[in-house]
Amino acid sequence: MVLMVFTAACSNSGGNNGGNSANGGNAGTNAGTNSGNSGGEAAKPVDLTFWGDWGGEGQKQFETMVDAFNKSQDKIRVKYVLQQDMITKFLTAATSGGSPDILFWDRWRTSLYAPKNVLHPVDEYMAKDGLNKDDFYGEALKELSYQDKLYGLPLTVDARALFYNKKILADAGVTNPPTTWDELEQAAIKTTKWNGSKLEVAGFSLADNGLFNMYLQQAGGQMMNADNTKTDFNNDKGKAVLQYWDKLLNQDKVYKVGFETGLGEGTDAFATGKLAMLYTGPWMLSTYKKFGKDLDFGVATPPAGPNGDKGSVMGGFGLVIPEGAKHKEEAWEFIKWWTANKDNALLWAKTSLNIPGYKPALEDPFFKDDPFWKPFLDTLEFAKIRPQHPGYSVMEDDALRPNLELFQQGKQKLEDTLNKAQQRGDQVLSDNAVVK
């Protein structure tokens, strides 16, 4: 009988979501109220499951934040669970039960999965807690939204900026990092070194044709039309991008397709002094800093296009609450603690070396006193997210990038490249306009 009574008490403990725990940090009160204990016993914490697909160092970073949260109070306990093929497992759990309480979320997925009703809006929680949307990057919140509903808060923000090797530029007589396409071209020409038919030092990397969106912004264009239904790059703006690439590749010869992969597996061309300039993100800062005196590098905002237009693509991750979560209010307390608190957002930044989505944290000397962060923070002020269309990523992967690859390899003319990418791209967008 004693065993039966004990089992019954445990089965009721923490079984409710807890009324209004999203209101002003009352998760502890509500968790205790719903613990099922009426005789003055200690309330059992509410257990939350946090799914993510970051392993290795990323997992350690997440666990650092989870441990800090768990130590900050005694009403909620979060456990990070590493998931391989996370999205597939999440969708299965969303329809069959077993959803986690918190999900690590690549924000661009929101417009694809929010219509499936597998994510829970957080607007009500935001209003109850009086959180100010202006404290977060607007583009990041936009990327976490669908049909005027917000589905999470941004955990990280990032954008591509121009990394440059100071020594290579100085030796070539380039005193300042380029600020325009013309300056970038000239700096690339001066820093490129050929030994006969062998490229020894490339002036500028053109390895990633996925950056077309970024160049198109700099050319004054956009990837999709105003009503977000069709592509919008088969025009003079898209033509300007490909003409610029063609000149760098085939006239100026500052790069050779396959150059970086041809250096051998695991060899980073920029780190080893074989590349003068490239576009990449803040995630590479810690890697390149490790090379110390062997790599004297700087970072600059992306050069502006022919008419002075600036452009970069904002990416990053967020934390969301699945619709099937059993403890939504407590999950919100964890998300709010991590992403909407200056001290905790700063702890995350120092732990992971990511830029947090919460702007007040960026006022700390950790960011203000480090010159490497400033170009990224400046770039984020004008960076734009990818178009919010369910089929956008499929359009890029299946329609645009294969044609850009043929163009870079000299196997397809400019006009054919844009025409074929548009025709196939518009069809892909149409096919994926309605989420099933």
Q: Which domains does the chain have, with CATH numbers?
A: 44-158+316-380 (3.40.190.10), 160-313+388-431 (3.40.190.10)
pTM for this structure? 0.86
Q: How many whole angstroms separate alpha carbon 30 and alpha carbon 46?
A: 10
Longest distance between any two alpha carbons in the chain, whole Å: 89
Q: How many whole angstroms separate alpha carbon 288 and alpha carbon 97?
A: 44
Predicted confidence at residue 265, as pLDDT, reads: 64
Residue 148: other Cβ atoms inside 10 A: 7
User: Which residues are CB-contacts of 240 (< 8 A; sequence separation ≥ 6)?
Assistant: 219, 305, 306
Q: How far apart are the first and last CA of the chain?
A: 52
Cα 11 off chain centre by: 40
What are phi and psi for residue 162, nearest 5 degrees?
-95, 115
Predicted confidence at residue 11, as pLDDT, reads: 36
Under 8 Å between Cβ of 158 and 106: no
What are phi and psi for residue 411, nearest 5 degrees?
-100, 0
Which amino acid does the sequence have at 425?
G
Cα–Cα distances in angstroms (integers) from residue 224 to residues 9, 148, 231, 375, in the given order = 57, 20, 4, 27
The list of the chain residues with pLDDT below 50 reads 1-40
Q: How many whole angstroms separate alpha carbon 48 and alpha carbon 212?
A: 41
76 exposure class (CB count in 10 Å sphere: 0-12, 13-18, 19+): buried
Predicted confidence at residue 42, as pLDDT, reads: 65
Predicted confidence at residue 41, as pLDDT, reads: 57
Predicted confidence at residue 53, as pLDDT, reads: 97
What length does the chain have? 436
Q: How many whole angstroms separate alpha carbon 83 and alpha carbon 319?
A: 15
What are phi and psi for residue 83, nearest 5 degrees?
-125, 125
Under 8 Å between Cβ of 230 and 236: no
Predicted confidence at residue 22, as pLDDT, reads: 34
Under 8 Å between Cβ of 119 and 94: no
Q: Would strands 46-52 and 102-106 be described as parallel, antiparallel, or unpaired?
A: parallel
What are phi and psi for residue 297, nearest 5 degrees?
-125, 160
Q: How many whole angstroms separate alpha carbon 192 and alpha carbon 200?
A: 8
Measured N-to-C along each axis, helices 414-431 and 236-246 cross at an angle, to the nearest 10 degrees, of: 130
Residue 388: other Cβ atoms inside 10 A: 18
Which residues make beta-bridge pairs with 163? 278, 299
Q: How many whole angstroms separate alpha carbon 280 and alpha carbon 300?
A: 11
